[in-house]
Amino acid sequence: MYHTQEKRFNRLTEPIKCKKPNAWLGVGSYFWADEIDAVKWGNDSKNRTGRYQIYKADIECEDVLDTVFNEKHYIFWLKQIEKAASYISKKTGLKANIKEINMYFQERASWSEVDGIMYQDLPFGDELLVVNFNYRKRIQLVAYNSNIISNFALHLEDECR
């Protein structure tokens, strides 16, 4: 899988954890399943230095909640999101946002055996070969446990476009 960061003076020896409270899947090291998505992320979101780097790593997915390909995991994930959103909505009178969902999971979730989550959304933009038809999955994985990451190494470096 691929980990994208802005170009740094020194090469990374391990992925950088995203600690933003509104990160899709909470605090962790984020990876893309497909290089095309890692490149797009570099161009769109890691452009502060004008260059980005993509690192490649092997991820052990045995204890990853796979909401993309595993139906049971997906149904579990869906129920957890809806449970958290319902709780937040009842408490605040407003729809939940990602930051609130992440905080709920940090404070209340008891799935300590989960080392990460594989998640998908739909890509959009010029990288699709068919206009207005999101036919492929854009798959991300967040690793909470760094022990599931191995063979982390620089894959490519490029200039932002």
CA distances from residue 12 to 4, 7, 77, 79, 140 in whole angstroms, order as listed:
11, 10, 32, 37, 20
Rounded (to 5) percent helix, strand, coil in the chain: 30, 30, 40
d(CA 15, CA 131): 34
- Strand order of the sheet with strand 138-143? 64-66, 116-121, 138-143, 29-32, 2-6, 51-59, 149-159
Residue 38's domain spans which residues? 2-75+114-159
CA dihedral 38, 44, 46, 52 (to 10 degrees): 60
Q: Tell me, yes or no, whether 13 lies in a domain.
A: yes
pTM equals 0.89
pLDDT at 26 over 70: yes
Tell me what the pLDDT averaged over the chain comes to: 91
Q: Tell me, yes or no, whether 155 lies in a domain.
A: yes
pLDDT at 90 over 80: yes
Q: Tell me, yes or no, whether 51 lies in a domain.
A: yes
Question: What pLDDT digit, counting tens, does each position of 53-88 carry?
Answer: 999 999 999 999 999 999 999 999 999 999 999 999
pLDDT at 91 over 80: yes
Q: Tell me, yes or no, whether 97 lies in a domain.
A: no
Q: Tell me, yes or no, whether 108 lies in a domain.
A: no
Q: Report the domain count for the chain.
A: 1
Q: Tell me, yes or no, whether 66 lies in a domain.
A: yes
What local confidence, expressed as pLDDT, does residue 133 receive?
Answer: 74
pLDDT at 125 over 70: no
What local confidence, expressed as pLDDT, does residue 139 receive?
Answer: 96
Calculate mean pLDDT across residues 81-102. Answer: 93
Q: Tell me, yes or no, whether 99 lies in a domain.
A: no
Other C-beta atoms lying within 10 Å of the C-beta of residue 116: 24
Q: Tell me, yes or no, whether 88 lies in a domain.
A: no
